[in-house]
């Protein structure tokens, strides 16, 4: 008599890799399929950007792929802790006005049933110019 087989452990790294491949193919259906129907998204440094549901994922990324026909996602580093995948990204592309699109950051994705159930995104535009470290620390210390 054999024992029942336990469900396979989710592989967050495989899901993140699948997500990156779909982004780079601009395959909206494959990209959206990486997310659970009840996906919960938050951007902790931009709380007003939180949303629920993969249909918003579809709307967001349809616009990204349309507006950035050369969008490219580079997966720089990954880590896994239990059912959570951590990914460091570089996103590049060129919108219609010709200005460079260059974002960097980290995402954390909770994976269940081979889909992303929740995400916390820390993605920001790269600031090529601006205050150096001394000025930035001064502003932090002064609260400005």
Where exactly are the structural domains of the chain?
Answer: 12-142
Per-residue pLDDT of the chain (144 residues; tens, 9 = 90+): 444 444 456 799 999 999 999 999 999 999 999 999 999 999 999 999 999 999 999 999 999 999 999 999 999 999 999 999 999 999 999 999 999 999 999 999 999 999 999 999 999 999 988 888 898 888 989 987
Predicted confidence at residue 7, as pLDDT, reads 46
Edge-to-edge order in the sheet of strand 101-112: 51-52, 35-42, 115-125, 101-112, 84-93, 72-81
pTM of the model: 0.87
- Are the beta carbons of 126 and 104 closer than 8 angstroms? yes
d(CA 76, CA 116): 19
**107 alpha carbon, distance to own chain's centre:** 5
pLDDT at position 1 is 46
CATH fold, domain 12-142, is: Nuclear Transport Factor 2; Chain: A, (3.10.450)
């Amino acid at each position: 008599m054999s024992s029942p087989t336990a469900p396979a452990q989710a592989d967050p790294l495989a899901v993140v890799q699948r997500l990156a491949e779909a982004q780079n193919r601009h395959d909206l259906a494959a990209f959206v399929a990486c997310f659970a129907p009840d996906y919960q998204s938050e951007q902790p440094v931009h709380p007003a950007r939180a949303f629920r549901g993969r249909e918003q994922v579809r709307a967001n990324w349809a616009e990204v792929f349309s507006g950035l026909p050369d969008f490219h996602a580079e997966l720089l580093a990954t880590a896994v802790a239990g059912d959570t995948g951590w990914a460091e990204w570089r996103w590049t592309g060129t919108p219609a006005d010709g200005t460079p699109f260059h974002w960097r950051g980290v995402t954390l994705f909770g994976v269940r049933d081979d889909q992303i159930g929740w995400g916390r995104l820390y993605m920001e535009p790269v600031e090529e110019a601006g205050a150096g470290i001394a000025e930035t620390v001064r502003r932090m210390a002064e609260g400005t």
